[in-house]
Structure 1
């Protein structure tokens, strides 16, 4: 029986070698990797995985007896359920914002506010603060069309702009509640949410500053031009960029496709996580109907659908010929988004197959008696789990589960919040082909797989390591006890 580490190594060789070495389409390489990993995983390990996920003994046994094809299809479908509607609607929003001139209007307003030289800072800090209440994927979907429009406006620095978006959104997602990973972490480790938010923002600002410096360096070393894509032809974007202001939609109207999902998701997040409301506790309250409406509209899928409706209305009002149908625009957007969904879902199938090998438990056992300081150990465990199976959230959950006992019982010389922050920073290392977020960013930004590995992966390594250094210094100088 192969060890989970050996199975992981086989999976890495198949996927990376298949895509880069044999030029396989990522969809095929990822499914092949998932199939081989699933074949090498014994049923006893799959049963153990089921038990670790909260299944009872009978359900875990039944799960282990499922065919390999069924298990891969289940993980594929689970990923589609999480991101399918988001990607499809985001593709429509992006296409409509670019074609209608809404993105161009937003960029012109942004340039008036910041100037050309400071435009990357607007993307960096904007993505970070958007990433606190809004899912990482949603930030990427909403910001990439703006980066394309900005690049056409200033004529350079496309890689810098998209790396700034990645820097801000990625770090907020793992450091600052109410993002899902940090929310679980603070509950597991008994860290006050306000303290985690405050410290997460401070550490996050240091890490995204390091990310900005790396982005500037990468942009100079390997500049990447804005490319033609199925849903954003350069010729069409240049025509829009040449329009006068009076021929573009108004600023508020242009912002609606972004503001609608943003406001709805943030409102739902505030009511759920900061006002301690739930349906049962408000059943007899006058707020119950309002809360129910906000919960419905604040669901990420519903919110982005409403954003898509707004984008289509803006497109309908500003299309070239008033009698033209919107169907071709939607079809083009969905053709682009459909490819992203397939690749992302196959990445989810590969990551799910790796999780079923028991790789997280193996890493936990390997590090159980590791005699190093708790902060770097927390970082190390989280980083290894993230690299092995692709999910930052799983890395946060695994590492916090391993370390919660030590953090709560040990006679620490610093507040446990530093351990939580170290876990968050470690969960950024190292994004590659088993990470759904890697594929979403890669395909939306039109980077090749090799370009993404040379830019996105080292970017997050730099930010994660910077965070570790800042945390160690902070724990020494400001122990908060």
Structure 2
């Protein structure tokens, strides 16, 4: 009986029940539910399992024994702090970039420029690509808040295709939000699973292109089958939408300035990742290599992006001396909550790792290494469907599967496991998902319309991603 109660799979089950039951049944904030689950998991984990975990991480025998005797509070706080150290600055800077791009008009300029280049008839494709691009540094709900007025204005101009525009926006933003750092879910995932950020950015973008393509095909079909008219609403009267479509471009920043807050961190991080992958720099004293190493570090790159976003905001709002202060304050308020939730998820995932769950799953899947990818996908699907949050689903699944490469020979890079988790976190959003209600209320679609269009589209994209990942892991294992 005791061995059953200390089995990592049983402890995992209890942890998931507490997270899902706490969020759905007791209406607890995700931060509290994750923290409570971390405490329960830590209490249930025997000291011997903690000692084995510490040894597997390279600790000495004495240090491992000492860690096994730590108070559960200290173990949780340590894991909490380690997660904050990994992603705290990144999330805060991403939040500042997103807010400043909205306030300065940079985001709107990017979308309009895309439309000018593709033409009005190809506007849905512009919205798809634009929302994916903006979804890299900006949270899903923020991208949707930005894009929906433009979607309404474009539908007003076209006189049709409103549902197609809404689905294009949600498809791009939703996939970038889970696949491409520096959004919180992917950031946590790569830190837990030891995946280089540059590799995740490139892999997530490539998989994202496949998924949004299939999502767009479904959106075209759904728009023909269930056309939705542009509806008047108190928060977005049709007369105001008309005025929005006539706003002068002269009030917006130039395109090259608008893209800098996103391009700076993306270019810095990508160049460093490419250099690390394809060049043997050793102890080189080359100035260029030194600069790339300095600015390509993820925290530094995001800080540079945030500084450029702040300078753009100050430039655009010269008459408002408090614009920068207000933008930073609002960004940090929203980013702070995300950091707390993510760090609590780190504590929960850390306690799950100490149970020996990775080794246990490794035993169960011995000889079936390729089964890890659909397993990772399935875990994320279960958690996402049960409690609604894609980020929490990614946190939970990556916490369970972290360290897999240390306990078994996968035969392919852990990147594919991470991408599978990201795609699984997209499956069938419904009423327990805040994104569902954002899409529903901001677009003036009914619950039934959202359930038969938005939810199936994300499911199709997630499954497409899984298929692409399974094929890629066979052809390009990257090990």
Note whether the superposition's TM-score is higher than 0.5. Answer: yes
Cα distance in 1 between the residues matched to 2:138 and 2:54: 33
1:326 Cα deviation after fit: 2.4
TM-score by length of 1: 0.70
| Structure 1 partner of 2:464 | 463
Is contact 1:210-1:463 (8 Å) kept? yes
Show the counterpart of 1:139.
136
CA 1:74/1:206 → structure 2, altered by over 3 Å: closer, same or farther?
A: same
Match of 2:151 among 149, 154, 169: 154
Q: For the residues of structure 1 that align with 2:248 and 2:312, how far apart are their CA atoms? A: 17
Q: Per the alignment, do residues 461 and 263 of structure 1 end up closer, same or farther by CA in structure 2, a change over 3 Å counting? A: closer
User: In the alignment, which residue of structure 1 is the partner of 2:443?
Assistant: none
Residue 414 of structure 1: aligned partner? none
Residues 186-219 of structure 1: CA distance to partner in whole angstroms, max 9, x if unpaired?
Answer: 9xxxxxxx9x999999877545534555677899
Match of 2:425 among 422, 428, 431: 431
Q: d(CA) in 2 for partners of 1:261 and 1:202?
A: 18
Quick check: 1:390 aligned with 2:387? Answer: no
| 1:291 Cα deviation from its structure 2 partner | 1.1
What is the aligned residue count? 417
Equivalent in the alignment of 2:74 = 70
Could you say which residue in structure 2 is the equivalent of 1:327? 325
Q: CA separation in 2, counterparts of 1:92 and 1:422? A: 30
Do the aligned partners of 1:45 and 1:357 also contact (CA within 8 Å) in 2?
Answer: yes
Q: Which residue does the alignment assign to 2:430?
A: none
CA distance in 1, matches of 2:210, 2:79: 36
Of 149, 154, 163, the residue aligned with 2:171 is 163
C-alpha distance in structure 1 between counterparts of 2:147 and 2:131, whole Å: 15
Does structure 2 conserve the Cα–Cα contact (< 8 Å) formed by 1:396 and 1:424? no
* Mapped partners of 2:330, 2:421: distance in 1: 35
Q: Offset at 1:395?
A: 4.0
Look up the match of 1:34. 38
Instruction: Return closer, same or farther for 1:142/1:297 CA change in 2, 3 Å cut-off.
Output: farther
1:379 aligns with 2:377: no
Q: Are 1:43 and 2:59 an aligned pair?
A: no
CA distance in 1, matches of 2:309, 2:363: 50
* Displacement of 1:246: 0.8
**What is the CA distance between 1:167 and its match in structure 2?**
2.7
Pairing 1:167-246 to 2, within 5 Å after superposition? 167=175, 170=178, 206-213=210-217, 243-246=247-250
Q: Secondary structure at the match of 1:139?
A: coil
How far apart are the structure 2 equivalents of 1:199 and 1:328? 35
TM superposition shift of 1:431: 3.3
Unaligned runs of 5+ in 2: 153-161, 182-188, 384-394, 427-432, 441-446
1:253 matched to which residue of 2? 257
**What secondary structure sits across from 2:280 in the alignment?**
coil
Give the structure 1 partner of residue 386 of structure 2.
none
Cα deviation, residue 142, structure 1: 7.7
The equivalent residue for 1:55 is: 59
SS at match of 2:136: helix
Q: What is the CA–CA distance in structure 1 between the aligned matches of 2:79 and 2:115, rounded to whole Å? A: 43
- 2:275 maps to 1:271: yes
Give, in angstroms, the shift of residue 40 of structure 1. Answer: 0.8
* Residue of structure 1 equivalent to 2:304: 306
Contact 2:127 2:168 in 1 (8 A): no
- Evaluate the alpha carbon distance shift between residue 400 and residue 86 of structure 1 in structure 2; reply closer, same or farther with a 3 A threshold: same
CA RMSD of aligned residues (A): 4.7
Q: Distance in 2 between matches of 1:218 and 1:14?
A: 37
Superposed, which structure 2 residues align to 1:334-413 within 5 Å? 334-368=332-366, 375=370, 377-380=371-374, 382-383=376-377, 390=396, 392=398, 395=401, 398=404, 402-404=408-410, 407=411
Counterpart CA distance in 2 for 1:289 and 1:55 is 36
| Structure 1 stretches lacking a partner, 5+ long | 131-136, 174-178, 187-193, 226-232, 408-416, 433-440
Partners of 2:135 and 2:143 within 8 A in 1: no
Per the alignment, do residues 300 and 144 of structure 1 end up closer, same or farther by CA in structure 2, a change over 3 Å counting? Answer: farther
Give the structure-2-normalised TM-score: 0.71
